[in-house]
Amino acid sequence: MPELPEVETTRRGIAAACHNATIASMTLRTPKLRWEIEPALPALLAEQPILSLGRRGKYLLISTQPGTLLIHLGMSGTLRVLPHDTPVKKHDHVDILLTSGQVLRLNDPRRFGAVLWHPSQAGAIEQHKLLAKLAPEPFDPAFNGDTFYQQTRRRQMAIKTVVMNSAFVVGAGNIYANESLFLSRIHPQTPANNLSKAQCHRLVDTIKQVLASAIEQGGTTLKDFMSPEGKPGYFVQELRVYGRDGQACTQCGKCINKVIINQRASFFCAHCQPLKKPRKPL
């Protein structure tokens, strides 16, 4: 699934095409992806200038005067900039044709993505039900070690589950949670409230560094993701634990292990990330 670095890579990849652009028309080839697509969108967006292009969590935000499009790439979606006469392929579900002659084309084989509409009269886009409860962005100063430490004091769930919860931090999906915990030398099954303040600070700093590095390298391509230019992400070359069960740890040479936590595959080195016994309550 495209995670925050992949979505940010997509945003950056389509930014030049969207800058000072005007939507000429919109084509919907399917009425529904994960959710129904507002059928009035082609009429609403025709001849509308794009005011801004943003991202919140894993949602791309294309703002216009009538409202904002929220686009989610789902499990295998891509949003690419193409010449307007590029032949339509299977799973090309949505086109946003620009007056420049370029088209933003959404391809989604599994149809787990989404194209949603938030009208301007409904208030600020931050009030949309899918965005309102999201935690701060990972690079926001509001996401810091002190706050994270306080948030985890009453959380006995595995720290990896907390890291992946968008109520605590946005964008640290499965790949990047595994990598961040490894670099922080924290076992993924460690109860969240067992982390020290120093560990919380180290983990927050590492999450920021891992996500920044992944964005710089265009994300991680495992199966489906490609950038708007059709290029793979190269962070996969830096994966230290994710998907490497049975292989040697890059730090100590011991074997990488795999365990299922909250129905998600988790990878770790038991030597570099020892699971310590919970501290006894005071």
Instruction: From the candidates 3, 8, 137, 179, give the one annotated as an active-site residue.
Output: 3
Q: Over the stretch 30-46, which tens digit does the pLDDT of each residue have?
A: 999 999 999 999 999 99
Annotated binding-site positions:
91, 110, 155
Residue 182 has pLDDT above 60, yes or no: yes
Specify the range with the lowest mean pLDDT, choosing from 139-143, 170-174, 199-203, 205-209: 170-174
Average pLDDT, the chain: 91
Q: Please indicate whether residue 202 is annotated as part of the active site.
A: no
Residue 14: per-residue pLDDT: 95
DSSP string, 26-93: EEES-SBSSSB--TTHHHHHTTEEP-EEEEETTEEEEE-SSEEEEEE-TTT-EEEEEETTPPP-TTEE
Residue 223: per-residue pLDDT: 47
Q: Please indicate whether residue 264 is annotated as part of the active site.
A: yes
Instruction: From the candidates 11, 58, 105, 160, give the one annotated as an active-site residue.
Output: 58
Q: Over the stretch 238-275, which tens digit does the pLDDT of each residue have?
A: 789 999 999 999 999 999 999 999 999 999 999 999 99
Instruction: From the candidates 34, 111, 258, 264, give the one annotated as an active-site residue.
Output: 264
The architecture in CATH of the region 4-127 reads Alpha-Beta Barrel (3.20)
* CA pseudo-torsion sign 32, 34, 40, 46: negative
Q: Over the stretch 122-160, which tens digit does the pLDDT of each residue have?
A: 999 999 999 999 999 999 999 999 999 999 999 999 999
Q: Over the stretch 157-176, which tens digit does the pLDDT of each residue have?
A: 999 999 999 999 998 889 99
Instruction: From the candidates 2, 5, 138, 188, give the one annotated as an active-site residue.
Output: 2
Annotated binding-site positions for DNA:
91, 110, 155
Any idea which residue has 């489906």 for tokens? 224
Residue 282 has pLDDT above 50, yes or no: no
| Among 277, 246, 261, CA closest to 269 | 246
Q: For the residues 70-85, what does the mean pLDDT come to?
A: 94
Domain ranges of the chain: 4-127, 145-269
Residues sharing a CB contact under 8 Å with residue 54, sequence separation 6 or more, in sequence order: 11, 60, 61, 63
High-pLDDT (> 90) share of the chain, %: 84
pTM exceeds 0.75 for this model:
yes
Residue 280: per-residue pLDDT: 55
Answer yes or no: same fold for 4-127 and 145-269. Answer: no
| Among 166, 252, 240, CA closest to 210 | 240
Q: Please indicate whether residue 6 is annotated as part of the active site.
A: no
Q: In this structure, how many other beta carbons lie within 10 angstroms of the beta carbon of residue 109?
A: 15
Q: Please indicate whether residue 58 is annotated as part of the active site.
A: yes
The architecture in CATH of the region 145-269 reads Orthogonal Bundle (1.10)
Residue 220: per-residue pLDDT: 58
